[in-house]
């Protein structure tokens, strides 16, 4: 059995005659609420393009490939080109140096394929690093990928035609591919341009074929 809740001291009771007015007022408010709901416009269904929790700059088609989201396309008139974004040259150079050093580590371990991959990444960040072309051609020569080595050296020849290491590696390429005359000319040119480690002419295994020729033996005596 429920206890009757007493009024707190100091509060006045509501007169009995007012209760009917409260009842009528409640009914009126209920009618106004029902009528208002009928004329209130229904919200449009939310899609992922308008939901911030789903919009991260990209949406995906059913196949899963990324496509530009509608807000970006409407703002720019077309999908923004990532290549047009500003590039930090210092950061790109640091990344190139990092991959160049990683490539050298793999080359020293004899893993020429991993070395080439890192050298390619280095050139992706900075195509002006001549050292990368030199060592990448070394890696290709180690892997007996002679055509790729020649392509790499030809690319460097356009950028730095007077680089002595370029012509020394050309001498190695020509010797390994049994083009001894061209090898000797490239080696002589590298020395004229200031190639410093001249003992390599006597010890480098890549020049073994060249060292067997009489032309090399005559020339080496003049050094």
- Assign 179 to helix, strand or coil: coil
**Which among 108, 183, 181 is positioned nearest to 100, based on CA atoms?**
108
Per residue in 194-211, pLDDT tens?
999 999 999 999 999 999
Give residue 28's pLDDT band: very low, low, confident or very high (50, 70, 90): confident
Is there a domain that residue 69 lies in? no
Is there a domain that residue 106 lies in? yes
Domain hosting residue 102, numbered range:
87-147
**Which among 169, 186, 168, 114 is positioned nearest to 143, based on CA atoms?**
114
Q: Give the CATH number for residue 118.
A: 1.25.40.10
Contacts of 114 (CB under 8 A, 6+ apart): 103, 106
Distances (CA, A) of 177 to 155, 185, 216: 19, 15, 16
Residue range 79-107: mean pLDDT, rounded? 84
Q: What is the pLDDT of residue 87?
A: 78
Domain count, the chain: 2
Q: What is the pLDDT of residue 21?
A: 61
Give residue 51's pLDDT band: very low, low, confident or very high (50, 70, 90): very low
Residue 214 region by backbone torsions, left for phi larger than 0, else alpha for psi between -120 and 50, else beta:
alpha
Task: For residue 67, give the H/E element and its range.
Answer: strand 66-68
Q: What is the pLDDT of residue 103?
A: 96
- Assign 54 to helix, strand or coil: coil
Is 133 found in the same domain as 176? no
Domain boundary among 119, 147, 175: 147
Is there a domain that residue 47 lies in? no
Distance from C-alpha of 130 to C-alpha of 137, rounded to nearest angstrom: 11
């Amino acid at each position: 059995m429920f206890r009757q809740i007493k009024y707190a001291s100091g509060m006045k009771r509501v007169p009995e005659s007012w209760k009917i007015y409260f009842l009528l007022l409640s009914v009126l408010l209920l009618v106004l609420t029902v009528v208002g709901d009928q004329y209130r416009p229904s919200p449009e269904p939310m899609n992922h393009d308008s939901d911030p929790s789903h919009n991260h700059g990209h949406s995906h088609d059913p196949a899963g490939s990324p496509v530009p989201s509608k807000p970006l396309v409407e703002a720019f008139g077309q999908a923004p080109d990532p290549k047009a974004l500003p590039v930090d040259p210092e950061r790109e150079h640091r990344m190139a140096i990092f991959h160049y050093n990683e490539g050298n580590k793999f080359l020293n371990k004899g893993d020429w394929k991993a070395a080439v991959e890192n050298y390619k990444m280095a050139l992706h960040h900075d195509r002006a690093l001549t050292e990368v072309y030199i060592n990448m051609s070394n890696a290709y020569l180690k892997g007996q990928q002679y055509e790729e080595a020649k392509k790499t050296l030809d690319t460097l020849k356009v950028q730095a035609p007077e680089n002595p290491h370029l012509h020394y590696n050309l001498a190695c390429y020509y010797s390994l591919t049994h083009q001894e005359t061209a090898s000797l000319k490239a080696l002589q040119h590298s020395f004229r341009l200031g190639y410093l480690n001249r003992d390599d002419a006597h010890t480098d295994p890549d020049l073994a074929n060249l060292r067997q020729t009489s032309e090399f033996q005559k020339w080496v005596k003049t050094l």
